[in-house]
């Protein structure tokens, strides 16, 4: 506050350097939000009207929202039912002469299967933009989220693993020219004050946010480690609980570092009833995400039909996140799993009642 440097400035620059180091990239560029990071990435690559960008239909709205905002058309590809990330095997069939980029999302804190995606990108000459908003510090085969594609996009929305005291976002890249371009685009496209070669947007990171984030970044790996421990403990408790209904814990691909932004279980037959039961017991749950993006009202013009992406649609019906955060205690985890186990009884008795009536 004393410095009166509220926007960008030395605090932001220091945070950018620390984030470049943390993500093992050459450059980091702060901006106002994760959504803006995605939009800036597309603008920097010249993506616009008439272009297509391939992404997942099972993600937070911002991923496809940024593509549509750039003027391009979101082209969806169904997900892998185990990881909930875009299925690389289906990507090539979606490429057309208008395709300008592939935008994989690292959902829930686990990297999309980047090796085949990078291979497709190299063969078809398409850049990859990583939506790493949920995956800061996660890894795929030893490579860090945000360092594998041409550009990585991060969010510091307060609920993210590294959350600010408000909105914030950041881009990473190893490309020096792209870095310069992004730094201009975030200040209305100007490279020197009041001289604009192109039209950008206003999307800058606040110094106060950078100051908060710099303090929290030091703790991030400890917090992510704690999340992993909670996830392992849930896995173990579910194994011991011997539930009478199907509940599948998260699948972790080999050679990845999953940072468990969310711990999401699949409950094929009783998801909504189990959620109600848990809410009654004071356990918070949430569905990420209940409506696949191709079914959103604003995307009806894309003319996707229901059934177009069966795995995304199934995941929207069957998955739910249960509490997972660094401060969660063993006792609380026990309570959550007991609450889920006790649903068996009420679930099967109502099933019996329904059967007899």
Q: Cα separation of 197 and 191, whole Å?
A: 8
- β-strands 52-55, 99-103: how paired? parallel
Give the number of other Cβ atoms within 10 Å of residue 171's Cβ. Answer: 32
Cβ 279 to ligand PLP shortest distance, Å:
23
Binding site for ligand PLP (CB under 6 A): 33-35, 59-60, 62-63, 105, 131, 133-134, 155, 157, 167, 169
Whether 116 and 89 have beta carbons less than 8 Å apart is answered as yes
Minimum separation from the CB atom of position 42 to ligand PLP (A): 13
Report the C-alpha gap between 40 and 45 in whole angstroms. Answer: 9
Q: For residues 147 and 333, which CB has a smaller minimum distance to ligand PLP in the complex?
A: 147
**H helix intervals, the chain:** 10-23, 34-44, 61-69, 114-124, 176-185, 207-217, 220-241, 271-280, 310-318, 330-356
Distance in Å, CB of 35 to ligand PLP, minimum: 3
CB of 327 to ligand PLP, least distance (A): 21
Nearest residue relative to ligand PLP (C-beta): 34
Query: Cβ–Cβ contacts within 10 Å for residue 331, how many?
Result: 8
Rg (CA), the chain: 21
- The number of CA neighbours under 13 Å toward the Cβ of 73 is 16
Rounded to the nearest whole angstrom, what is the least distance from the CB of residue 296 to ligand PLP in the complex?
15
Tell me the closest approach of the beta carbon of residue 60 to ligand PLP, in angstroms: 4
Cα–Cα dist 185/55, whole Å? 23
Give the other-Cβ count within 10 Å of 169's Cβ. 29
Report yes or no: 179 and 173 within 8 Å, Cβ to Cβ.
yes
Give one DSSP letter per residue of 72-111, joined into a string: -EEEE-PBPTTT-SB-GGGTGGG--TTEEEEE-B-GGG--
DSSP state of 57: S
Nearer to ligand PLP, 37 or 237 (CB): 37
Q: Which is nearer to ligand PLP, 155 or 285 (CB)?
A: 155
Identify which of residues 139 and 167 has a Cβ nearer to ligand PLP in the complex: 167
Q: What minimum distance in Å lies between the beta carbon of 22 and ligand PLP? A: 18
CA distance 5 to 244: 59
Name the minimum Å distance from CB 255 to ligand PLP: 22
Residue number with CB closer to ligand PLP (201 or 273): 201
Q: Is the peptide bond before 289 cis (omega within 30 degrees of 0)?
A: yes
Q: How far is the CB of 357 from ligand PLP (least distance, A)?
A: 44
Residue nearer to ligand PLP on the CB measure, 34 or 149: 34
Nearer to ligand PLP, 112 or 328 (CB): 112
Nearer to ligand PLP, 157 or 343 (CB): 157
Nearest to ligand PLP of 41, 274 (CB atom): 41
Residue 102 pairs in a beta bridge with 54, 128
């Amino acid at each position: 506050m004393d410095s009166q440097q509220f926007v960008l400035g030395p605090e932001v620059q220091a945070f950018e350097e620390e984030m470049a180091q943390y993500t093992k990239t050459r450059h980091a560029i702060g901006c106002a939000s994760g959504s803006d990071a995605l939009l800036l990435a597309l603008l920097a690559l010249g993506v616009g009207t008439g272009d297509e960008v391939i992404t997942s239909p099972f993600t937070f709205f911002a991923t496809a929202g940024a593509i549509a905002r750039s003027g391009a058309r979101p082209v969806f590809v169904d997900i892998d039912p185990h990881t909930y990330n875009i299925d690389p095997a289906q990507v090539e069939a979606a490429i057309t002469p208008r395709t300008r980029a592939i935008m994989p999302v690292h959902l829930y804190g686990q990297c999309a299967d980047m090796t085949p995606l990078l291979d497709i990108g190299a063969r078809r000459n398409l850049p990859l933009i990583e939506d790493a908003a949920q995956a800061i510090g996660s890894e795929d085969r030893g490579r860090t989220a945000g360092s594998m594609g041409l550009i990585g996009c991060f969010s510091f929305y307060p609920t993210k693993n590294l959350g600010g005291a408000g909105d914030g976002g950041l881009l990473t890249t190893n490309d020096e020219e792209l870095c310069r371009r992004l730094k201009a685009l975030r200040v209305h496209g100007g490279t020197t004050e009041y001289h604009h070669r192109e039209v950008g947007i206003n999307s800058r990171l606040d110094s106060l946010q950078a100051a908060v984030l710099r303090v929290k970044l030091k703790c991030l790996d400890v917090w992510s480690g704690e999340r992993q421990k909670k996830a392992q403990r849930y896995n173990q408790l579910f194994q011991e609980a011997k539930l009478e209904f199907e509940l599948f814990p998260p699948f972790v691909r080999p050679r990845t570092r999953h940072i468990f932004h969310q711990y999401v279980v699949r409950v094929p037959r009783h998801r909504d009833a189990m959620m109600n039961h848990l809410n009654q017991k004071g356990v918070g749950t949430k569905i990420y995400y209940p409506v696949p993006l191709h079914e959103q009202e604003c995307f009806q013009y894309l003319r996707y039909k229901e059934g177009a992406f069966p795995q995304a649609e199934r995941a929207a019906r069957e998955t739910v996140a249960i509490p997972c955060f660094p401060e969660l205690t063993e006792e609380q985890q026990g309570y959550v799993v007991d609450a889920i186990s006790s649903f068996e009884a009420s679930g099967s008795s109502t099933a019996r009642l329904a059967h007899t009536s």
